[in-house]
Amino acid sequence: MITDEELGRLKAIPRSFRKPLPSEEEAREVEGSLYHMWWRCLRASSKYLECCEVEGRNHALSQTYANFGDVRVKWPIWWRRTGRVIFSERHDYPKVRAITKDRALTKLNVESESFLILDVPLGLRRTTVLEQINKLLDEHHPGRDLDVWAQSTAKVKLHKSKLHEKTLPQLVLVAEILHKKPEILLYELAEVAGLAEIHLGRSVQEELTKREEHQRREMAASRYKDQANKLVINAAHGRFPCID
Residue-wise pLDDT tens digits, 195-209? 865 555 555 555 667
Q: Are residues 83 and 105 in the same domain?
A: no
Residue-wise pLDDT tens digits, 112-137? 456 677 777 777 788 887 787 777 77
Close Cβ partners of 89 (under 8 Å, ≥ 6 residues apart): 9, 10, 11, 17, 152, 153, 154
Asked if the structure places residue 94 within a domain, the reply is no
What pLDDT is attached to residue 197?
Answer: 58
Asked if the structure places residue 161 within a domain, the reply is no
Flag whether pLDDT at 180 surpasses 90: yes
Other Cβ atoms within 10 Å of 153 Cβ, number: 14
Q: Are residues 80 and 130 in the same domain?
A: no
Residue 186: domain span: 167-236
Question: Given 63, 87, 111, which residue is the final one in a domain?
Answer: 87
Question: Given 57, 87, 117, which residue is the final one in a domain?
Answer: 87
Residue-wise pLDDT tens digits, 43-97? 999 999 999 999 999 999 999 999 999 999 999 999 999 999 999 887 666 666 6
What pLDDT is attached to residue 147?
Answer: 52
pTM of the model: 0.78
Q: Which residue has the higher pLDDT, 146 or 64?
A: 64
What pLDDT is attached to residue 118?
Answer: 74
CA dist., res. 118 & res. 115, Å (int): 10
Percent of the chain with pLDDT over 90: 46
